[in-house]
């Protein structure tokens, strides 16, 4: 009986060891097949920080334009710009966060919003303000509005047309925004060259 229990125990150990190796081999194969955005690697995996830096370097100062149709077949126009700086937050959002400024026009109207890849805007901003400085001018306060769907990583600006006009006339824009548990951070956008009507 003891010999039978011992044999079953050895089989179970061997089975667990095989599963661990299979999972490890599968993970290593996935990492090896993943496209490398940067030559900087850590322990055989592409560094997330390097990927974030590559995203910022590729998109900062370059407006990206897009035209799509919504569920009802109506046109939606977007102009997006990646911030020139990476936001460095503490846990649980550490590792770098990318901010994207977007102008969106639908039949119902035009909106301007900022979205961050990681992190949350301070929930107490409802009715709050962001300080925005264009080029070397004095900062201007813009009221903020929460996303209707409750997403905390997006914040909308009021006075959209005024903001768009200032972006079109400026070379750069610095925004001071408050993030939940992280304090006030600055976002730098190189807004020169915006084409929007």
- CATH classification code of 47-189: 2.60.40
DSSP 94-132: -S-B-EEEEEEEETTEEEEEEEESS--B-GGGTT-EEEE
Mean pLDDT of the chain: 78
Each residue of 93-123: pLDDT tens digit? 888 999 999 999 999 999 999 999 999 988 6
Query: Taking the model in full, what pTM does it have?
Result: 0.71
In this structure, how many other beta carbons lie within 10 angstroms of the beta carbon of residue 158? 13
Each residue of 155-177: pLDDT tens digit? 999 999 999 999 999 999 999 99
Domain locations in the chain as residue ranges? 2-33, 47-189
Distance, CA of 70 to chain centre:
23
CA pair distance 98, 142, nearest whole angstrom? 21
Each residue of 147-157: pLDDT tens digit? 888 888 999 99
Q: Percent of the chain, pLDDT > 70?
A: 71
């Amino acid at each position: 009986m003891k010999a039978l229990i011992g044999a079953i125990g050895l089989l179970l150990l061997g089975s667990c060891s095989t599963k661990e190796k299979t999972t490890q081999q599968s993970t290593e194969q996935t990492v090896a097949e993943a496209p490398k955005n940067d030559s900087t690697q850590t322990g055989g995996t592409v560094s997330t920080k390097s990927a974030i830096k590559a995203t910022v370097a590729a998109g900062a100062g370059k407006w990206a334009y897009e035209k799509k149709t919504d569920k009802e077949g109506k046109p939606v126009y977007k102009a997006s710009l990646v911030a020139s700086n990476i936001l460095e937050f503490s846990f649980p959002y550490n590792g770098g966060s990318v901010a994207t400024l977007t102008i969106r026009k639908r039949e119902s109207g035009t909106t301007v919003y900022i979205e961050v890849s990681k992190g949350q805007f301070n929930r107490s901003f409802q009715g709050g303000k962001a300080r925005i400085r264009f080029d070397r001018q004095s900062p201007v306060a813009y009221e903020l509005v929460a996303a209707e769907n409750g997403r905390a990583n997006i914040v909308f600006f009021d006075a959209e047309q005024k903001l768009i006009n200032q972006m079109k006339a400026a070379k750069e824009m610095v925004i001071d925004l408050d993030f939940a548990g992280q304090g006030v951070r600055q976002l730098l956008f190189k807004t020169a060259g915006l084409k929007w009507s």
